[in-house]
Amino acid sequence: MTAPGADLPVAIVGAGFSGTLLAINLLRQGASVVLVERDGKRLAKGLAFGTRQVEHLLNVRAANMSAFPDDPQHFERWVGQHSGQKANRFVPRLAYGHYLHEQLMAALSAAPERLRICVGTARDAVPAPGRVDLHLDDGEVIGARALVLALGNMVPSPPPPLAGLSGQVLRADPWGPGVAEGLEEDSHVLLVGTGLTAVDVAISLDRAGFAGRVTALSRRGLMPRAHAEEGPHVTPVSRPAERGSWLLHHVRGRARQVGWRHAVDELRPHTQALWRLHDAAGQARFLRHLRPWWDVHRHRLAPAVASHVARLMAEGRLTIAAGRIEQAREEDGRAIIDWRERHTGEHRTTTVDRVILCTGPEGDITRCDEALLGKLLARGLARGDGHRLGLDVDHRARLIGADGRCHEALFAVGPMTKGAEWEIVAVPDIRRQVWTLARALTNTQWVGGEGL
């Protein structure tokens, strides 16, 4: 007897990397899919790979960017790279967006009757026995046997001291149009954050011809480290038995033995398991004390990008500062920022022409302007994780509701599951997550190249 809703498609909201790759995997395993994306221009690219600027490079080597875990050299073949030297290249994110789009179009060509791409906004989702009804903004209701949220990264909310600044001087979305609009040659730009996003924005401003000053400010003033020119060639190691501070001592010891890059890279197969083995208090201690240090060593810059940043700093056009913004006000179309320097405790005042938020994605879903999320939260069908990193999900990617129970037909993948997975922002981690979920949704027990 066929289960209720078994003949319905899987609905995926969001067609960035996570949603696109999940759709492709489901199609490869015989399922029908409806892929909903609000911005047709970002179809199969999303925020990360939708850039049109060639200076934005991948932060992972081409050798590890295949979309398919059962075909590790897929992307290398696509881009025409075969030698070890070329595999070490860091390809423009623009090219990777084309790669993803091509894979989706190939999947559509192979199974046109099983993939529907719908450009629109999902406004609501109502579970019913054996199905979920997804409501779009044009009034259409899509019946699905499962709904997967692949919403990617949310635009950050301004920190309280900056909340009063107008859109004339504050740009909350560093990827939005007009970030550099109206800047003069002698303008001063403040980047709030010193991570990968700040680096991208600083380089984009330079490439656009901006010759003014850029100051990047974060609490610790930490910048991402650079990848080595070659590698890594990491020998698999067993998962460390240590926890908490003992695990930190272990990693530091390994760094002295084999170098910090190698010590971090050999943890990669184990980081999700290590995260789950720590209780909520242990995870919170990591986030409070070690997360900034982990981020700058784990999420690195391509060597060419690191060289570009070093040149901007040497020329005095990019300054990195460590401190906390205390208040901000707006006068005559400029922002006056009062902040306290981290190492000296001194109060400083900096006047800038533009403030651009580069603080990373918003993790507190209660602050996100997303209609579908708001409806799911209001009904108790979803909740934020305890660390405010995104949505609360279990090990099977099922949404956990306000009552602590999982819903069998509501799922989430990608960066918004960071509270459960921690390492879930890079291609290698997401491709494994969506691969696993696609198998679960299709009851697949055998996958070519991987086995049981």
Please indicate, yes or no, whether residues 74 and 127 belong to a single structural domain of this protein. Answer: yes
pLDDT band at 452 (very low <50, low <70, confident <90, very high): very low
Please indicate, yes or no, whether residues 22 and 137 belong to a single structural domain of this protein. Answer: yes
* For residue 450, pLDDT beyond 50: no
Distance of CA 4 to the CA centre of its chain: 35
Helix (H) or strand (E) holding 122: strand 122-128
* For residue 83, pLDDT beyond 70: no
Query: Per the structure block, which two tokens stand in for 74?
Result: 């897929």
Contacts with 229 (C-beta within 8 Å, 6 or more apart), sequence order:
88, 303
Measure the CA–CA gap between 281 and 430, rounded to whole angstroms. 26
Measure the CA–CA gap between 445 and 452, rounded to whole angstroms. 6
pLDDT band at 209 (very low <50, low <70, confident <90, very high): confident
More confident residue, 162 or 41: 162
**DSSP secondary structure letter of residue 21:** H
Question: Would strands 213-218 and 398-400 be described as parallel, antiparallel, or unpaired?
Answer: unpaired
Q: What is the pLDDT of residue 434?
A: 94
Q: What is the pLDDT of residue 112?
A: 92
For 57, other C-beta atoms within 10 Å of its C-beta total 22
Instruction: State the Rg of the chain over Cα.
Output: 22
CB of 80 within 8 A of CB of 89? no
* For residue 5, pLDDT beyond 90: no
The total number of structural domains that make up the chain = 3
Which residue, 357, 373, 399, sits at the end of a domain?
357
Contacts with 265 (C-beta within 8 Å, 6 or more apart), sequence order:
232, 234
CB of 157 within 8 A of CB of 165? no
* 450 domain residue, yes or no: no
Range of the domain at 125: 10-154+362-441
* 166 domain residue, yes or no: yes
* For residue 187, pLDDT beyond 70: yes
Please indicate, yes or no, whether residues 120 and 254 belong to a single structural domain of this protein. Answer: no
* 235 domain residue, yes or no: no
* 2 domain residue, yes or no: no
Please indicate, yes or no, whether residues 309 and 420 belong to a single structural domain of this protein. Answer: no
Q: Mean pLDDT across the chain, nearest whole number? A: 88
Q: What is the pLDDT of residue 217?
A: 97
Measure the CA–CA gap between 260 and 367, rounded to whole angstroms. 36
Please indicate, yes or no, whether residues 126 and 257 belong to a single structural domain of this protein. Answer: no
Q: Which of 356, 421, 358 is nearest to 389 (CA)?
A: 421
Please indicate, yes or no, whether residues 92 and 116 belong to a single structural domain of this protein. Answer: yes
Per-residue pLDDT, averaged over 224-250, amounts to 86
Q: What's the CATH number where 341 sits?
A: 3.50.50.60
Q: What is the pLDDT of residue 2?
A: 46
Measure the CA–CA gap between 450 and 29, rounded to whole angstroms. 14
* 239 domain residue, yes or no: no
Please indicate, yes or no, whether residues 99 and 44 belong to a single structural domain of this protein. Answer: yes
What pLDDT, in 10s, does the model give residues 63-80?
A: 788 888 888 888 888 887
Please indicate, yes or no, whether residues 252 and 106 belong to a single structural domain of this protein. Answer: no
Q: What is the pLDDT of residue 176?
A: 78
* For residue 92, pLDDT beyond 90: no
Please indicate, yes or no, whether residues 261 and 277 belong to a single structural domain of this protein. Answer: yes
* 3 domain residue, yes or no: no
What pLDDT, in 10s, does the model give residues 327-382?
A: 999 999 999 999 999 999 999 999 999 999 999 888 888 888 788 999 999 999 99
* For residue 236, pLDDT beyond 90: no
Amino acid at 445: Q
Find tokens 């001194």 and name the residue.
346
Q: What is the pLDDT of residue 447?
A: 46
Please indicate, yes or no, whether residues 73 and 214 belong to a single structural domain of this protein. Answer: no
Q: What is the pLDDT of residue 207?
A: 87
What sign does the dihedral 256-261-266-267 (CA atoms) show? positive
Please indicate, yes or no, whether residues 44 and 117 belong to a single structural domain of this protein. Answer: yes
What's this model's pTM, rounded to 2 decimal places?
0.88
What pLDDT, in 10s, does the model give residues 264-307?
A: 999 988 999 999 999 999 999 999 999 999 999 999 998 889 99
* 230 domain residue, yes or no: no
Please indicate, yes or no, whether residues 179 and 72 belong to a single structural domain of this protein. Answer: no
pLDDT band at 174 (very low <50, low <70, confident <90, very high): confident
* 417 domain residue, yes or no: yes
Q: Which of 354, 352, 370, 353 is nearest to 362 (CA)?
A: 370
Q: What is the pLDDT of residue 1?
A: 40
